[in-house]
Structures are given as structure tokens and as C-alpha cells.
């Protein structure tokens, strides 16, 4: 089963990044959308029309996106409710409502018969339901958005700084690392959604190693190139 989460990069870029690792975007079975922000949904319509991907999305997220981002004509839309479960053959995707400032955001746990992978970005804050989720995972792709000091001292206007740090914003490196302390079974964590202005991979990794320790393997996801194949 081939699942693609979110569609923030253009079709050609997504096609090329997948092809670099021998994957054909046309063979993706489902495009699953987390929330209505442009960096996650912008090209969903393009992926569907160009590559015939079925879209899985909540009704409220689609409504919001269509009014704001103009996804264009869609013909294959499958709805889920945030908190519900999707089934694709032997793989299931549990969706988890997030307190992020989208209309109906979701994070995901992808389960096969014996492994669980978390896809946890745009979380709002480290809400308590995340602890048992992290504890259940074998691997996780998790938001580690900013270094708090870099954000405070950085170039963003005060209102944006408040939004990012607030309860509906993004997780800092420290918040993400503290969550990962619950991950007793984790084989690896891939740090994602790193801010371009308020974070960088070495700062993020240092915070995580300082808090979580050396026992967990960390990767960082780049905005500009594929991360390679990670096996759960």
C-alpha cells in the first residue's frame, strides 16, 4: 500500500523526489491531507488531475481549502472525520484531531499488522493525548518547528511569534524532544517542519540529543530534498 501525506510541493517536484528513490507518484493509492494550510494542501488538486490520486480529506478541511486555495476541479474525494480511522488493505490510518490553528487538523498513526508509524506535524502544542500515541510507536515523523531562542530573537513580527509559540501554533525543538521521551519503543525519529528562519538541523538535533539521549536515532527532513528511505 502506498500512501502519500500532504501536498505542499508542486507536482513535478513531488514526482522527481519520489522517482529519485524508485517510487512512481502515479502508483500512490491515497493522498491523505492533514489540514487546510497551504504548505500542506496547495497542490492536492494538481496531484489528483495530473497523477489521478484519490484524495482523503475531512469535509471541513476541503471546504476551507476550496474557498481559500482554489484547488480546482476534484473528482475523486473520500471523506474522513478527524478522529476516525481509514483502512487500506492490511494498513490502517488512525487520525488524531490536533489543536493547531487550522479548521479541522489531523495527525496520523499508520499501522500495519506489526508496526506503527506516527506522522505528527502542525500539532498546536504538546497535547496530552500525544503521550500514549508516542509510547505506542515504532518510528515517528514529528514536527520540531523552532528553537525558542531563535524565534524570540528572530525577524518575525511579534504577532507571528505569538502565534507560533501559542497553543495553536507549532512545537519547539524542546517540546518535541520532551514528547519523544515517552517513546520507549521508537527505533527512529525524523524531525520535520523545521522553520527556515528559527531553526536549523544542527540546533534541533542538539536539543533532541540533550533531552532524549543518544539511544534514539534521529534524522532531519529537509525542505529542499528527499530524506531517503527510512524503514520502520
Q: Binding residues for Zn ion, how many (CB under 5 A)?
A: 3
Instruction: Please identify, using beta-carbon distances, which residue of 91 and 147 lies nearer to Zn ion.
Output: 147
Instruction: Please identify, using beta-carbon distances, which residue of 1 and 160 lies nearer to Zn ion.
Output: 160
Cα-flanking dihedrals φ and ψ of residue 96, to 5°? -125, 120
Query: Residue 37 interacts with Zn ion (CB under 5 A)?
Result: yes
Q: Are 163 and 169 in contact (CB under 8 A)?
A: yes
Grid look-up 515517528 returns 140
**Shortest reach from residue 61's CB to Zn ion, in Å:** 11
Query: Residue 122 interacts with Zn ion (CB under 5 A)?
Result: yes
DSSP string, 67-127: HHT-------EEE--TT-EEEETTEEEEEEE--SSSSS-EEEEEE-SS-EEEEE-S-BS--
Query: Residue 161 interacts with Zn ion (CB under 5 A)?
Result: no
C-alpha cell at 193: 517542519
Instruction: Please identify, using beta-carbon distances, which residue of 54 and 99 lies nearer to Zn ion.
Output: 99
Stretch that binds Zn ion, among 34-42, 49-57, 67-75, 91-99 (CB under 5 A): 34-42
For residues 139 and 131, give the distance between their C-alpha atoms in angstroms, rounded to a whole number.
14
Instruction: Please identify, using beta-carbon distances, which residue of 93 and 194 lies nearer to Zn ion.
Output: 194
For residues 109 and 79, give the distance between their C-alpha atoms in angstroms, rounded to a whole number.
17
Q: Binding Zn ion by CB under 5 A: which of 39, 66, 138, 178?
A: 39
**Shortest reach from residue 122's CB to Zn ion, in Å:** 4
Grid look-up 536539543 returns 207
Instruction: Please identify, using beta-carbon distances, which residue of 37 and 42 lies nearer to Zn ion.
Output: 37
Footprint on this chain of Zn ion (rule: CB under 5 A):
37, 39, 122
Amino acid at each position: 500500500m502506498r500512501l502519500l501525506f500532504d501536498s505542499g510541493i508542486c507536482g513535478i517536484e513531488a514526482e522527481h523526489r519520489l522517482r529519485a528513490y524508485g517510487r512512481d507518484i502515479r502508483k500512490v493509492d491515497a493522498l491523505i491531507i492533514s489540514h487546510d494550510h497551504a504548505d500542506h494542501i496547495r497542490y492536492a488538486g494538481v496531484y489528483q488531475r495530473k497523477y489521478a490520486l484519490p484524495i482523503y480529506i475531512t469535509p471541513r478541511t476541503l471546504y476551507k481549502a476550496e474557498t481559500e486555495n482554489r484547488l480546482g476541479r476534484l473528482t475523486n474525494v473520500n471523506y474522513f472525520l478527524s478522529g476516525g480511522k481509514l483502512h487500506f488493505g492490511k494498513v490502517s490510518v488512525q487520525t488524531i484531531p490536533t489543536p493547531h490553528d487550522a479548521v479541522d487538523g489531523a495527525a496520523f498513526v499508520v499501522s500495519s499488522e506489526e508496526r506503527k508509524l506516527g506522522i505528527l506535524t502542525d500539532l498546536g502544542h504538546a497535547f496530552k493525548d500525544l503521550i500514549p500515541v508516542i509510547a505506542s510507536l515504532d518510528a515517528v515523523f514529528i514536527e520540531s518547528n523552532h528553537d525558542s531562542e531563535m524565534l524570540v530573537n528572530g525577524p518575525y513580527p511579534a504577532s507571528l511569534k505569538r502565534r507560533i509559540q501559542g497553543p495553536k501554533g507549532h512545537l519547539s525543538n524542546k517540546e518535541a524532544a520532551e514528547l519523544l521521551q515517552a517513546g520507549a519503543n521508537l527505533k527512529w525519529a525524523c524531525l520535520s517542519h523545521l522553520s527556515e528562519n528559527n531553526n536549523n538541523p544542527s540546533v534541533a538535533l542538539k536539543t533532541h540529543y540533550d533531552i532524549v539521549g543518544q539511544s534514539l536515532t534521529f534524522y532531519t527532513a529537509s525542505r529542499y530534498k528527499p530524506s531517503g528511505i527510512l524503514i520502520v
